[in-house]
Amino acid sequence: MRLFIILSVICVSLFVLVICIFLKSTLTMRVKLLISAHSCSWKVKIYIWGICLWAQQSDPLRQVPSESTANQKHDPGYSQQELADWQEQLGQGIRLLRKMNVSHKIRVQLVSWVTQCGTGDAFETAILSGIIWSIKASLMPWIAPWISDRPRIQVVPVFQRMSLCSDLSCMFQLRIGDAIVMIKKIRRLMKEG
Q: What are the tens digits of pLDDT across the range 39-49? A: 788 888 988 88
- Please tell me the predicted confidence (pLDDT) of residue 69: 43
Q: What are the tens digits of pLDDT across the range 117-170? A: 998 888 999 999 999 999 999 988 888 877 888 889 999 999 888 888 999 999
- Please tell me the predicted confidence (pLDDT) of residue 127: 93
**If pLDDT is split at 50, 70 and 90, which confidence band does 97 have?**
low
Separation of alpha carbons 104 and 148, rounded Å:
11
Query: Which one has a higher pLDDT value, 78 or 91?
Result: 91
pTM comes to 0.65
Sheet holding 107-119, edge to edge: 51-57, 40-48, 26-36, 162-175, 107-119, 152-157
Q: Which 3 state secondary structure label does DSSP give 92?
A: helix
Separation of alpha carbons 19 and 12, rounded Å:
11
Rounded to the nearest 10 degrees, the angle between the axes of helix 80-100 and helix 176-192 is: 110
Q: Is the pLDDT of residue 26 over 60?
A: yes
- Please tell me the predicted confidence (pLDDT) of residue 35: 83
